[in-house]
Structure 1
Amino acid sequence: MEDLKIQNVNLQESENLERHRTEGFSGSKTLVVRRGAPVRVSMQLEGRAFNPKTDSLRIKVLLGSLYVVMPVTFSKKVSPRRWKAYMDPKDLNLQNPSIFISSPASAMVGYYGFQLHAFTKGVKKTSAFSKFILLCNPWCREDAVYIPFEAQREEYIQNDSGLMFIGTAMNVVSRPWSFDQFEPGVLEACLNLLRVSPQHQKNRKMDFLKRNNPVYISRVVSAMINSEDDRGVLKGKWKGDYKEGVNPSLWTGSGDILTQWAESGYSPVKYGQCWVFAAVMCTVMRVLGIPCRVITNFNSAHDTNANLVIEEYYSETGQKLKHSADSIWNFHVWVECWMNRQDLGSGMDGWQVLDPTPQERSEGVYCCGPAPVKAIKDRRIDLFYDIPFVYAEVNADVHSIVVSEGRVVSHTKDTERVGSLICTKAVGSPRHQNITGDYKLIRSPSSTLSSGSSTMSEDSMLISRGSSRDMLVILALDKAPFAGEPVHFTVKAVNKQRVARRMKVHLNAQAKEYNHSPSDTFWERHGVVQLGPMEAKVIHQQILPTEYEDVVGDNVINLAVVLEDLTSHTRVLASEEFNIASPELNIEIADEDSIVPNKEQTAKVTFTNSFSHPVSGVLTVAGAGLIQGKVNFRMLPLRPGSSVQQRITFIPNKVGTKMLQARLTLSHINSTIRGFKMISVSRA
C-alpha cells in the first residue's frame, strides 16, 4: 500500500482572516486568528488519498515549551474550554482534506507553532509544520474580553485612527491620532513587547500560562509602555528641551513609535507625555484583541500624600506659587480596557482604568490598573488595582491658600473642580462623549447653583468665585478665547456689608504647561474700587493677542484675581485656568464620494493666519492606509489674515474609514495647528 504523504498545508488565509475579523493583518507573514473560533487548514496530499479507515491525524500545538496534542476527530462538537481538531464528515475531500482547529476562549495570546502528523495503522508516515498568531476575541461570548455590540467592536478594536481630547473642560480641543495597528511591523512590535517584558524574561513558562488573562496582559503592557523599570517603549519628559528625541506634541501616531522601538533593539523612544503613553497603549491593546479607548480627565489631581486634598498657594497679588508637591494637571490621559474581572466578581466587569504614564509605583513597578470604573465610582478602595490613586485623580478637593509675608490670609475649598469633565471619543462619531457620570456622582444643576455658582450674564462663562463674610469676587470669561483675538473677561466685586468699603483688585496672568506650575507673570493689573453698602461692581478687562501670543501658544493661562478689603485686610481669591483655541487646518477632498483603493486622490489643505504677526512653519500630512509614511511641506512667511493652500495626493490601500491628518508646526512660536478629515474608502 502506498504511503500517505503531505505535500503542503494551506492555511486558507483569506477565509480565516475574514472569519476571525483580522483582515487588517493581511500583510503579516504569519496567519493572525482569534481564540475561541475555528481555524480551517487544508492538506495537499501527494499520491494516494486519505483513507478514514486506515489513516489518522494528530495535531500538536505549541506555545514556547507548552504544548497540547489532540487527535483529529469527525465530531464537530467543541468546548470553549479546550483545544479540539476535527474534520467535517459531510464535506470531506479525501485528496485535500480540511481540518478545523478550535482553540479555547481562554487560550494564551502569542505566536503558536503547530505540527500535523499523519499515521497509517498507527505508524507515523508523514508530518507538516506551520504557525499562527493567536489574539483575544471580543466577538466570542466565552472570551473574558467579549463586548456585546458590533459598533463598539468596530470602534475599540478595528478603528485604526481616532481623537484624543486636551485643553480644558471649558474649551475641549480634539487631537487626531493614528493608532496604526494594521501598519507594517506594528503587530510584531506589540507581540515582542510581551516577549521582552521582565515577566517573560524571568519565567517564560509562567508568563505564557498567565497570558490567557486580560488582567495580567494589561498590567504587563501598562508597565512596558514606559521605560522606567524595563526595556519599555517610551521615555517620558515633561520639561527642558527635547533635542535628544522628539517633542511629544509632534507625534501623530503610534506606528512610528512602536517600529522605532523594535528596530532599535528595544531602546526607549524619546519622548512621551501622558497622551502619547495612552495612545500607544491603546494601539497595543487593540492589536492584542482587548477593546480599548483613550480617556481624558480634565483637572486631574496628582495627590502625592494620598490625603485626597490638593493645596494650591497664591501670593497676595494673585501669583500662583510653587509651594506644594501636589498638582492638578489641566488634563490627564489614560486608557480604559473592557474585560471581565473574575478576580473581583461580576459586579466589577466592564471598563477598567489603565495608566501607562509613570507617576506612582504599583506593586513596585510604574504601572497603574486595571482599576474597575465601577469601583472608582463606588469608592471601593479595598479592591485592586490602584483604585485609591485613580479615585483621587477624579475626586480630590482643592484648597486654595493666599499667603502674605509667610502668613495664611485666605483659605477656600473647592469640591467640584477636580474631575470636572471625563470624556472619550464617541462611538462612530468625531466628537467627545461625556462619561463623568461613570466615575463619580454628578450633582444636579440646582445643587451646583446652590453651592455658589453664578454667571455674569446669559452669554458669559463662569470661571471661579471666592467669598468671605465681608465680600465676594466672581471671575468670568465673556466667551471661549480664540487665538488672534483679545481675551475678554469680567471681575464682579461685591460688598456684602451695610457700610461702604474700599477694596484693592489684583489681577495676574501666568502661562503654564498642562501639568506644571505656572511660569512668571506675563500680564497684571492692579487698582482700587469703591463700593457702597451691599453694592456690586463689574470690571471689564482684556488681554491682547500681542500680550499673550509669545508666551502661551499650546499652553494655558492661569488667571487669578485677589480682592482685598483695605479696612480689614481680608482677602478673597478667584482663579481658573483656560486654553486659547488655535485655528484649525481645513482639509477638502476632491471626489469625496468615489474613493477606492489603489486610485490616486487629491486633498487640499488650507491655513488662514489668525495671529497678529506673520508666521511660517512646516506642514506635515499623514494617514494610515492612505499615505506611506509622512509628507512634509515648508510654508513661507504668511501675513496676518492671509491664507495658503497645499495640494496633497494620496493612494488609499485599505477599505474602510480612514483619517487624513495635517499638522502645521510654526517656527519661532510655541504653537501647532492641526486638522483632520475622515475619509470613507469603498470597495472598487
Structure 2
Amino acid sequence: MSFFYDVGDYFDDLFSGLRHDNNERLREERVEEEVVRVQDEAENEVEVKPKVVSVNLQAKTNALNSHCDKFELVNRKKATSVIRRGGPMSFDIKFNKDADLKSGLKVTLFFSFGPRPSVTKGTQAILLVTGKKTFDKNEDEWDVRFSTQDGETATIEVQIPHHVPVGVWKLAIEVSPHGNEKVRDIFRLEDQIFILFNPWSKDDEVYMEDEEKRNEYVLNDIGKVWVGSYPTARGRHWVFGQYDDAVLPACVYLLEKANLKPDERGDAVKISRAISKMVK
C-alpha cells in the first residue's frame, strides 16, 4: 500500500525537496511550524474524528544515539533526521485527542523508500502500533513498540533492520477509531529521514569491530590521502567533509543518477561501485 507519487513525479519531487530543504537550512530563518489539523466538533457534539496533529522525530536525540550527531543537517534550527540502520529510533506523535493506543485509536505506520515502495522488496514497512512495550520480533525485522503517553502525545520506538536500503525514507501515519476503520485519517510527514549504514552494528555488512578504526575511518572528518607512486608516495592532509549539510543530499542524487534500484541500496558493495562509476 503506497501513499506516495508515481515514478514520473517522484524524482522531480525528491530533487526539488532536497534543494528546497538545503536552502532553508542555509538561511536558518525558517521556524518550525506545527501543522494543526483539528476537526471542529459539530453542534450536536458528534465525536471528533481522530487525526495526527504533528510528529516530532527527535532528530537530535536519535542522531546522538546513532553516532550521527556531527552532521550539520541535524544541528540546524530545522533539524533533519539522520540515523543508522540496525538500531531503534523514537519519535512523538501528537493527536487531536487522548492518545489511547490500546483501545481508543488504531495507528499504522508506513515507512517507504523510493518511487514504488514494496514490502516484498524491502522498500516499505507497515507497522501496527499496539500497547506492547517491548520489541518481540527478530532484529532483522521491522518492529514497533509503545513507549510513553502524555495526554494527546504518544512516544513510539521503531526497530530498523540492519539490511534496509540507505538514503531518504518517508513516513506516513494512518489513524482511525478502533472498530471503525472506515473513518480514517492519513498524515504524510514532509520531513525526510536519512538512514545510513551502521559500522557499530554486528549484523550490518559494514561492521567494524575495532573502535579506534571506527573513529578514524568513520567519524574523523580530517586525515590524509596518499598520492604518488612508489617510491615517492606521500601523504597529503585532507578534509573529508562528510558532515557538511550538502553531502547527504548529494549522495542521494548520485545514487538516483546511477540508476541503482531502490531495493539494491542496502548493499554496500553495489553502492560503492555505483558511486565510483559516477565520480570517475
Q: Normalising by structure 2, what TM-score? A: 0.71
1:147 to 202, 205, 208: 208
Shift of residue 224 of structure 1?
1.2
Partners of 1:79 and 1:225 in 2: how far apart? 38
What is residue 177 of structure 1 aligned with on the other side? Answer: 238
What is residue 150 of structure 2 aligned with on the other side? Answer: 93
Shift of residue 18 of structure 1?
0.3
Q: Say yes or no: does 1:25 pair with 2:71.
A: yes
What is residue 428 of structure 1 aligned with on the other side? Answer: none
Please, what is the CA RMSD of the aligned residues?
A: 2.0
1:440-466 deviation digits (Å, cap 9, x = unpaired): xxxxxxxxxxxxxxxxxxxxxxxxxxx
CA contact (8 A) 2:144 2:159 kept: yes
Shift of residue 169 of structure 1?
4.7
Partners of 1:129 and 1:39 in 2: how far apart? 18
Distance 1:51 1:138, change over 3 A: closer
1:3-32 deviation digits (Å, cap 9, x = unpaired): 323210001111111011111224256311
Partners of 1:166 and 1:179 in 2: how far apart? 15
Partners of 1:54 and 1:168 in 2: how far apart? 69
What is residue 248 of structure 2 aligned with on the other side? Answer: 187
Shift of residue 80 of structure 1?
2.4
Partners of 1:51 and 1:165 in 2: how far apart? 56
2:164 to 83, 107, 110: 107
Partners of 2:172 and 2:83 in 1: how far apart? 17
What is residue 198 of structure 2 aligned with on the other side? Answer: 137
Shift of residue 40 of structure 1?
0.5
What is residue 12 of structure 1 aligned with on the other side? Answer: 58
CA contact (8 A) 2:59 2:80 kept: no
2:226 to 158, 165, 187: 165
What is residue 225 of structure 1 aligned with on the other side? Answer: 279
Partners of 1:99 and 1:49 in 2: how far apart? 11
Higher normalized helix content (fraction of residues): 2
CA contact (8 A) 1:118 1:127 kept: yes
Any unmatched runs of 5+ in structure 1? 201-206, 227-684
What letter is aligned with 2:69?
A: E
What is residue 83 of structure 1 aligned with on the other side? Answer: 142
What is residue 270 of structure 2 aligned with on the other side? Answer: 216
Query: How many residue pairs end up in the alignment?
Result: 217
Shift of residue 51 of structure 1?
4.7
3-state SS of 2:70 partner? helix
Partners of 2:102 and 2:166 in 1: how far apart? 33
Shift of residue 94 of structure 1?
4.5
1:615-646 deviation digits (Å, cap 9, x = unpaired): xxxxxxxxxxxxxxxxxxxxxxxxxxxxxxxx
Partners of 1:223 and 1:166 in 2: how far apart? 20
CA contact (8 A) 2:72 2:245 kept: no
Partners of 1:168 and 1:136 in 2: how far apart? 32
1:567-622 deviation digits (Å, cap 9, x = unpaired): xxxxxxxxxxxxxxxxxxxxxxxxxxxxxxxxxxxxxxxxxxxxxxxxxxxxxxxx
What letter is aligned with 1:165?
A: W
Higher normalized strand content (fraction of residues): 1
- Note the 1:401-416 alignment, pairs <5 A: none
Partners of 1:49 and 1:101 in 2: how far apart? 17
Shift of residue 117 of structure 1?
1.2
3-state SS of 1:23 partner? coil
What is residue 27 of structure 2 aligned with on the other side? Answer: none
Distance 1:77 1:94, change over 3 A: farther
Partners of 2:106 and 2:243 in 1: how far apart? 38
What is residue 46 of structure 1 aligned with on the other side? Answer: 96
3-state SS of 1:9 partner? strand
Partners of 1:14 and 1:80 in 2: how far apart? 23
3-state SS of 1:27 partner? helix
3-state SS of 1:87 partner? strand
Partners of 1:99 and 1:196 in 2: how far apart? 35
What letter is aligned with 2:112?
A: L
Shift of residue 223 of structure 1?
1.0
Partners of 1:163 and 1:120 in 2: how far apart? 58
CA contact (8 A) 2:82 2:195 kept: yes
Partners of 1:183 and 1:15 in 2: how far apart? 19
Shift of residue 167 of structure 1?
4.8
What is residue 42 of structure 2 aligned with on the other side? Answer: none
Q: Normalising by structure 1, what TM-score? A: 0.30
Identity score, percent: 25
Partners of 1:102 and 1:172 in 2: how far apart? 46
Distance 1:63 1:216, change over 3 A: same
What is residue 666 of structure 1 aligned with on the other side? Answer: none
3-state SS of 1:81 partner? coil
Partners of 1:117 and 1:11 in 2: how far apart? 17
What letter is aligned with 2:145?
A: Y
3-state SS of 1:134 partner? strand
What is residue 175 of structure 2 aligned with on the other side? Answer: 118
Which has more radius of gyration? 1
1:361-419 deviation digits (Å, cap 9, x = unpaired): xxxxxxxxxxxxxxxxxxxxxxxxxxxxxxxxxxxxxxxxxxxxxxxxxxxxxxxxxxx
1:152-190 deviation digits (Å, cap 9, x = unpaired): 111111111111233565555321111111113121111
What letter is aligned with 1:209?
A: D
Partners of 1:129 and 1:154 in 2: how far apart? 36
1:249-297 deviation digits (Å, cap 9, x = unpaired): xxxxxxxxxxxxxxxxxxxxxxxxxxxxxxxxxxxxxxxxxxxxxxxxx
3-state SS of 2:73 partner? coil
Partners of 2:214 and 2:111 in 1: how far apart? 28
Aligned structure 1 segments of 4 or more residues deviating by more than 4 angstroms: 167-172
